[in-house]
Amino acid sequence: MSSMWGQTLKISLFGESHGPGIGVVIDGLPSGHRLDEEAIRQFMLRRAPGRSPWSTRRQESDETEILSGLYGGRTTGAPLAALIRNTDARSADYGDLVNKPRPGHADLAGSFRYQGFQDPRGGGHFSGRLTAPMTFAGALCRQILLEKGLWIAAHVYEIAGIPDEPFNPVDPDEKRLAALAAKPFPVLDDAAGARMIEAVEKARLSADSVGGVIETIIAGLPAGLGDPIFEGLESRLSSLVLGIPAVKGIEFGSGFSSARMTGSIHNDTPVIVDDKIRFRTNHSGGIQGGISNGMPVVFRIAVKPTPSIGQEQQTINLSEMNEEQLIIKGRHDPCIVPRAVPVAEAAAAIFALDLMLGAGFFRTHEPSGF
């Protein structure tokens, strides 16, 4: 197991869906940053369950208690631990799962790994609920990044094959993208969004689920961060983002579309704009040779359809070693993509702050105050 990630900024996630609580230790924060706890709360609400028809009906306020690392409202530089108590846990819904694993879930792989000792209630530590503390950590990192002029946005790029308008990766409109955060269904094209909601509702009614794609942009990242080979931004970001449950793919810039382009189309032409180096296109997603080139970093992630569906499914009975039918009870999302949008932003923020800290952006080498 390692639910830890990071180099200079490190996070350590803990908790289970139906245990006493979930939380995160954030180790390596710069000192002296005044936290806006209300803004963090608002950010976390975008992920919280029970607030829309496409979300599980489980009610969790996700109130977060900060246990350490904060003094006088500012970060101290010491590890900041945050705890979210589980309140609406109903373990009875999940009784037989160790013996009858849910198709598409980690129940069976988890049993292989932990010899059946994993907490089966609601997926335990495998639960998407673990994205709550990750979102907390990301919300906090975002605030600190904003001081350096970085901003992050994400949207539902596609659900059930229905596309939103893509981000402009060359010259993103900060105001327009900032408005996404206020939308219950974060798309640029609300008409497309309405069709997506319809598709989600249709899946819900047929006791099924749908997947989708999320696009995220990190704007304002200075050029010259990262390194070739294994410290490339693609490597580092992937190792974090693919830790989000249900994410099965990631692409940067034009990504898989690049594979169908010619070099003459794909190569981003450098240009001089107002005495600054920019690029005419951004097929590379702001990353060349693993290093930021000053353009927005753009990536998309594939989110598989929620495995918990209401239909009867075939599974196996581990004690009998035979095949049986299963009907999953409990409360589930027919589509987790909208709720995963702030999680993608959170991951981007954690990644970017780790990168910036590693490059020394928040260190002051003159001991101050005296």
Q: Does 325 bind a copy of itself (CB under 8 A)?
A: no
Q: Does 211 bind a copy of itself (CB under 8 A)?
A: yes
> What is the DSSP annotation of 93-140?
GGTTTTTSPPTTSSHHHHHHHHTT-S--GGGGGGSGGGHHHHHHHHHH
Residue 178: CB minimum distance to a copy of itself, A: 25
Residue 326: other Cβ atoms inside 10 A: 18
DSSP-derived letter for residue 362 is T
- At which residue do the structure tokens 């309140």 appear? 87
Residue 175: CB minimum distance to a copy of itself, A: 27
Size of the site for a copy of itself (CB under 8 A): 160
180 or 326: whose CB is closer to a copy of itself? 326
- Coil, strand or helix: which one is 34? strand
Q: Does 329 bind a copy of itself (CB under 8 A)?
A: no
Residue 83: other Cβ atoms inside 10 A: 19
Q: Does 185 bind a copy of itself (CB under 8 A)?
A: no
Q: Does 209 bind a copy of itself (CB under 8 A)?
A: yes
165 or 312: whose CB is closer to a copy of itself? 312
CA distances from 269 to 260, 281, 292 (A): 18, 7, 15
- List binders of a copy of itself among 125-184 (CB under 8 A): 125-126, 130, 158-161
Q: Does 31 bind a copy of itself (CB under 8 A)?
A: yes
Residue 86: CB minimum distance to a copy of itself, A: 10
**Which helix or strand (DSSP H or E) is residue 303 part of?**
strand 297-303
Q: Does 271 bind a copy of itself (CB under 8 A)?
A: yes
Residue 153: other Cβ atoms inside 10 A: 26
Residue 229: CB minimum distance to a copy of itself, A: 4
Residue 338: CB minimum distance to a copy of itself, A: 14
- Residue of 53, 63, 224, 327 that binds a copy of itself (CB under 8 A): 224
Measured CA to CA, the distance from residue 268 to residue 10 in angstroms comes to 33
Measured CA to CA, the distance from residue 169 to residue 251 in angstroms comes to 14
Residue 201: CB minimum distance to a copy of itself, A: 13
Measured CA to CA, the distance from residue 24 to residue 83 in angstroms comes to 7
Q: Does 330 bind a copy of itself (CB under 8 A)?
A: no
Stretch that binds a copy of itself, among 38-46, 47-55, 167-175, 361-369 (CB under 8 A): 361-369
Alpha carbon 9 to chain centroid, angstroms: 17
**Strand ranges of the sheet holding 64-66, from the earlier edge strand across to the other edge:** 4-6, 10-15, 21-27, 80-85, 64-66
- List binders of a copy of itself among 48-87 (CB under 8 A): 65-69, 71, 74-81, 83
- Residue of 41, 51, 183, 266 that binds a copy of itself (CB under 8 A): 266
- Residue of 87, 114, 147, 191 that binds a copy of itself (CB under 8 A): 114
- Residue of 51, 255, 329, 331 that binds a copy of itself (CB under 8 A): 255
Q: Does 92 bind a copy of itself (CB under 8 A)?
A: no
Q: Does 220 bind a copy of itself (CB under 8 A)?
A: no
Q: Does 192 bind a copy of itself (CB under 8 A)?
A: no
Stretch that binds a copy of itself, among 168-176, 189-197, 217-225, 338-346 (CB under 8 A): 217-225
173 or 324: whose CB is closer to a copy of itself? 324
Stretch that binds a copy of itself, among 44-52, 169-177, 187-195, 224-232 (CB under 8 A): 224-232
Residue 304: CB minimum distance to a copy of itself, A: 4
Stretch that binds a copy of itself, among 41-49, 170-178, 190-198, 306-314 (CB under 8 A): 306-314
Q: Could you tell me the sign of the dihedral formed by the alpha carbons of 105, 107, 110, 112, in that order?
A: negative
Alpha carbon 77 to chain centroid, angstroms: 24
Beta carbons of 100 and 317 less than 8 angstroms apart: yes
Contacts of 251 (CB under 8 A, 6+ apart): 299, 300
Beta carbons of 97 and 88 less than 8 angstroms apart: no
Please name the amino acid found at residue 68. S
